[in-house]
Structure 1
Amino acid sequence: MEQQLRDWLRYTVVLGFYVSPCKHQPIKHLVWAERPKVRFRYRLKIIYLYALLPWICVLYVNALIYRKFVAGVMLSWLLTMVFFSSQAFSNLLIAAEGIWRRQQHEEFLRRLQEIELSLKLRLKQDVNVGWLVRRVRCLLEYLLWLTFICYCLFIYNFAYLQYVGYFWYSIWFAITMRLRLIQLLIYVRVLQHYMKCLCMKLQQVVAYRMAPNRQLMDINYEKLQSLDYLLAIKEIYALLFKEFQLLNDFAGWSLFSIILSYMLDYGCTLYWALLSWEGYQERRKYCIACFWWFVPMTAIVWHLCLLCDNCMKLDRFIAELLSKIIITRSSKSLHSYRLLVHQFSTQLQLQYIEVTGKSFFTLNLRLLMSIGIAISTYMVIVIQFLTI
């Protein structure tokens, strides 16, 4: 799965998401004459990443200078300026993570291959990579096509509306933020699959320990009861936990800024929809444009939060399964096994697998409710301003 992700990530260099570190470039396997070309292309990509930072700043300042102020809509102009600033700030963080978090991102991808091989070789688990690649590709195509179609429909309905914001200046920002969330969503989807594979093997161990007399013919129970097998499960879990830590490390700030910017986006868009109902704009056309803007954004955020929530549930399910392993015999041969179960249980109690926005919030279904409450509160305040 690692190689497929790297193939897809090649196209994200333009947006500044990922460039493989130089020491991982396969230069030594190339012909001597080709090595300078590879190094040159790599340096060009790094230069491009560094050039993204001032380019984003120039685009932001240019929009502030050339966007004319519309009299009589001071509150609307202020809200859209704050929202546009949050988009620019999010893109700066995404580009900065692409530059200064390359090593963590590369380690994250490398460990995916390590987890896959550990499941295959140490636990004899069929990871079913072909099925996973097809499912992930379908998910990726679905989200990309949904984003593209809804974006085109939004622009078609939006082009003739009176607008005081910075939409035409922020198209690059909006596309980068959407694709960044889709990238992280794909990562979480792959990690969820690996967690399910680990749960399946742990379930077999628990079933054997709870009902040793009910054995199936196609399962090697002699291997299931061994200390090495449980140790392999523990080490693979540690790899998965490290993967989520790396994900939070190289993408935590961009997740925090994008979710915050989307909250402002929801608020601003609903505010403009409210103005359209008051007769400030053409009501029907603006509500249609609003709908096409909300659909892909809501689908991506909801899907990401759902996947993160499922990973947290699988983590707690692993802890629940491990607590069911009861060793009644007190022989010395089982002392090491019993000690390992205790250590693994303690580890699960102290460690929690979760995706966070730099610990400001945790991505799960509860976050969606919190966002809804915050937007509702914001709309109540805005309505009070409109009634004055």
Structure 2
Amino acid sequence: MLYSLHPYLKYFALLGLVPWSESCAHSQFVQKLYSAFLIILNAVNFGISINFPQNSELFLSLMVNVIVFVAKIVCVAVIVLQMMVHYDDYFRFCMEIKYLGLRLQCELKIHVGRLKWQSYAKILALGIGCLVTLLPSIYVALNGSLLYFWSSLLSILIIRMQFVLMLLYVDLLGQHASLLGKRLQNVLECHLMGANCSLDSNANRLCSLDFLLALKQCHMELYHLFTHFNDLFGWSILGTYVVLFSDSTVNIYWTQQVLAEVYQYKYLYATFSVFLPSFVNILVFCRYGEFCQRQSVMIGSYLRNLSFHPSIGRETSYKDLLTEFIMQVEQNLLTINAEGFMNADNSLLMSILAAKVTYLIVLMQFSSV
């Protein structure tokens, strides 16, 4: 699935987000130089713009501006550096997705195919939305004074496009977990029917020991795929979440300042075009992560229900393998984790919302001083 998108994904190399070439060492070296140039360019642009602050800017807003855009510069450096260091790991990750899909098709007789059109539509809509919502900020920057916007425009593009790419990868992982869960559900239903079902007109039975072993091995490979994704994009997820959280929180604060007539109403275009897509991205990514965790829970639920079936107790080898499988699923959860700092799920979304309220209250209290 991911390999079918490679002709399009490779253009993200212009932002330093994916390797341009898999085998050409010279091309990879040139792209590493280009990635280093992007990092230096971001830092230099911000360093130049910070030396020409606007005298009319309130101190608190000036300080908040600097903090937000420094966070973006650091986040971009983390994203680009992580990809520079893990070029080979990126292609290994893509190959692992391909091999897992082949294993699901050959051993479990699951038709993997491509992503559903709904997934393509969601990813495409988010990508276009991230680009289109830059237009109001550009309009305000051209017709007024939007501090540090131009120096951070490249950073905003890199961060938003990286987020879209990570959503695509997580959607792929969630689909594989869903396919494995559905096949386990078929095994459970087959046992409930008394093992009177066959697998797609194949001689092998769903209730066989070999099929359960294949399911167990596929789950372990899927867990390693989740782990590889977390290792490959963990710091990028963390940095992106920090930027999206600070961006959305600060721009809600600036919206309140505009409504209080501290700033002109034209700035509402810029603030809405920042905190709305930031909040949507946070929401969507948390929901994708929650979907993966739920699939992991459903897999464990199917296995535990299977272990209670009366026929299982009469087959010692099948029961022992099933017990090992249950322990494997309970210990190896399919989660999206950012270097151990947080899991992407609904609980993270609620924590972010609570933190937003707290920081907004603090900012409003300082602005009234």
Relative to the length of structure 1, the TM-score reads 0.88
Q: Give the Å deviation of 1:136.
A: 4.0
Aligned residue runs from structure 1 range 201-350, under 5 A: 201-212=183-194, 215=197, 222-283=204-265, 285-326=266-307, 328-329=310-311, 334-350=315-331
Partner of 1:29: none
Q: Could you tell me whether the CA contact under 8 Å between 1:319 and 1:348 is conserved in 2?
A: yes
Q: Which residue of 2 aligns with 1:105?
A: 90
Whole-angstrom distance in 2 between the partners of 1:191 and 1:16: 23
In the TM superposition, 1:36-55 aligns within 5 A as: 38-55=24-41
Cα offsets for 1:351-373 (capped at 9, x unmatched): 21111221111111222221111
With 176-185 and 293-302 compared, the bigger mean Cα shift is at 293-302
Q: Note if contact 2:199-2:206 (Cα within 8 Å) is conserved in structure 1.
A: no
In the alignment of these two chains, the number of paired residues is 368
Q: Output the CA distance in 2 between the equivalents of 1:159 and 1:358.
A: 39
Shift of 1:80: 0.7
Counterpart secondary structure, 2:83 = helix
Query: Alignment identity in percent?
Result: 22
Say whether residues 1:145 and 2:128 are aligned partners: yes
Q: Secondary structure at the match of 2:143?
A: coil
- List alignment gaps of at least 5 residues for structure 1: 26-37
- Match of residue 106, structure 2, among 121, 127, 149: 121
After superposition, what is the alpha-carbon deviation per residue over 1:261-281, rounded to whole angstroms, capped at 9, x for unaligned?
Answer: 111112221221122122222
Letter in 1 for 2:335: E
* Distance change in 2, residues 1:268/1:349 (3 Å): same
Q: What is residue 16 of structure 2 aligned with on the other side? A: 16
- C-alpha displacement at 1:157, in angstroms? 4.5
Contact 1:256 / 1:357 at 8 angstroms: preserved in 2? yes
Please give the secondary structure, in 1, of the residue aligned with 2:319.
Answer: helix
Partner of 1:31: none
| Helix, strand or coil at the partner of 2:133 | helix
Q: 1:197 to 1:221 in 2, by over 3 A?
A: farther
2:67 corresponds to: 82
Instruction: State the alpha-carbon separation in 1 of the partners of residues 333 and 313 from structure 2.
Output: 33
Question: What is the CA deviation profile of residues 335-361 of structure 1, one whole-angstrom value per residue up to 9, with x for unaligned ones?
Answer: 221111011111111121111221111
Q: CA 1:335–1:83 in structure 2 vs 1: closer, same or farther (change >3 Å)?
A: same
Which of 58, 61, 64 does residue 44 from structure 2 map onto?
58
**Contact 2:312 / 2:318 at 8 angstroms: preserved in 1?**
no
Q: CA deviation at 1:295?
A: 3.0
- Tell me if 1:387 matches 2:365: no
Q: Write the distance in 1 (CA, Å) between the matches of 2:198 and 2:67.
A: 62
Residue 172 (1) aligns with residue 157 (2): no
Pick from 341, 350, 359: which aligns with 1:369?
350
User: How far, CA to CA, are the matches of 2:169 and 2:132 in structure 1?
Assistant: 24
Deviations 1:295-334 (A, max 9, x none): 32222221111111000000000001000113535888x3
Q: Classify 1:162/1:274 alpha carbon distance in 2 versus 1 (closer, same or farther; 3 Å).
A: farther
* 364-373 vs 219-228, which moves further: 219-228
